[in-house]
Amino acid sequence: MSLLTPKKLALRILIASLLLVALMAICSMIGTEDISFKNIFGDHENGGINPDYKIYVHIRVPRIILAAIIGAALACSGVVFQGLLRNPLADPYILGISSGAGLGAILAVVAGVNFTILGHSPMAVFAFAGALSTVWLVWFIGKLTGRMHVTGLLLAGVVVNAFFSAMIMFITSVAKSDQVFSTIFWLMGNMSEQSFLVLWLSAGFVIAGIVCLFLLSGQLNAISFGEIDAKNMGINTARTQTIAFAVAALITAIAVSLSGLIGFVGLIIPHAIRLIFGPDHRQLIPLSAISAAAFLVAADTLARVVVAPAQLPVGVVTAIIGGPFFLVLLVKYSRKAGIWQS
């Protein structure tokens, strides 16, 4: 009889982490400009800063770290929302984060707000605020429908999403086209350069969030069987749900403010890991985080080079690669076992 042991989990996390680091190293050498390790750390002919070093340290590495952070954040919140809502179709944006972020971003542009926080554009700052406010609103409405009933929460998310999407369309219709174009492009999911301060702060928050969610993984396993079952097994469901929702929403909002809306990662990576390793959140959370980090690093590298010197929105790449990849996994593993049941 096989059960997850700490040793087995540690080994899997170690192997996955090593593969991620290797992939990040490889991807850091791929780009429109050819650079080499020798040049990166070698002296510049004229005594100044080596251009390869500049490209590597100031452009490629931060962007790769950014992709990894965003991938990890989206996948973990996907895992958590699927588990808490007991809905395999849940993704990080299910509680209206996407429309909230979009509305925030478009309002910032249309209102002509012009300030930066930690180097962030007003669009990103407003998107972050919009995402968090929307989750709070959905949570509040969900609570009004009953005692944190899952269906109430889901419906509140759907309605708020629809309402805010309509607001976005309304503003898009009446605003000047050059104003909204940049917002729409941003919402398609784009990696852009971030200052080291923003990068490390975001990484700190996302990693802390993932650790927090990992510590709740035993409780999340029980909640996957339903709130009542979990309560009967001694879980403080209200506390677990509140913390998990808040943390998942926060790391999603961070990801959205950094990169716009990158679809598919938060939906397919958790399912892919579930199909291969099973639904135990103790390994689902860390392995989804590492795998999604790797997936988004690879997808962003492709987005950088496929139509060089132009760049594709990374959200387009994640959907194009992720869709077929997930379908292969779905067919292969679902035949082996009845993974999902209604």
Residues that bind other proteins (CB under 8 A): 1-6, 83, 86-88, 215, 217-219, 221-222, 224-226, 228-229, 231-236, 274, 278-280, 282, 337-342
Q: How far apart are CA 7 and CA 125, in angstroms?
A: 41
Q: How far apart are CA 25 and CA 339, in angstroms?
A: 35
Q: How many helices (H) and strands (E) does the chain have?
A: 15, 0
Nearer to other proteins, 5 or 46 (CB): 5
Nearer to other proteins, 37 or 225 (CB): 225
Which value, to the nearest 10 degrees, does the dihedral of the CA atoms of residues 286, 288, 294, 295 take? -170
CB 250 within 8 A of CB 209: yes
Nearer to other proteins, 81 or 164 (CB): 81
- Spatial CB neighbours of 173, under 8 Å, sequence gap ≥ 6: none
CB 298 within 8 A of CB 88: no
Nearer to other proteins, 54 or 86 (CB): 86
Helix, strand, or coil here: 107?
A: helix
Nearer to other proteins, 87 or 311 (CB): 87
Nearer to other proteins, 48 or 338 (CB): 338
Q: Least CB distance from residue 271 to other proteins, whole Å?
A: 10
Q: DSSP code of 33?
A: S
Q: Least CB distance from residue 6 to other proteins, whole Å?
A: 5
Q: Least CB distance from residue 316 to other proteins, whole Å?
A: 30
Q: Least CB distance from residue 331 to other proteins, whole Å?
A: 16
Q: Least CB distance from residue 91 to other proteins, whole Å?
A: 15
Nearest CA-CA partner of 220 in 70, 82, 74, 88: 82
Does residue 309 have a cis peptide bond before it, meaning omega lies within 30 degrees of 0?
Answer: yes
Q: Least CB distance from residue 224 to other proteins, whole Å?
A: 5
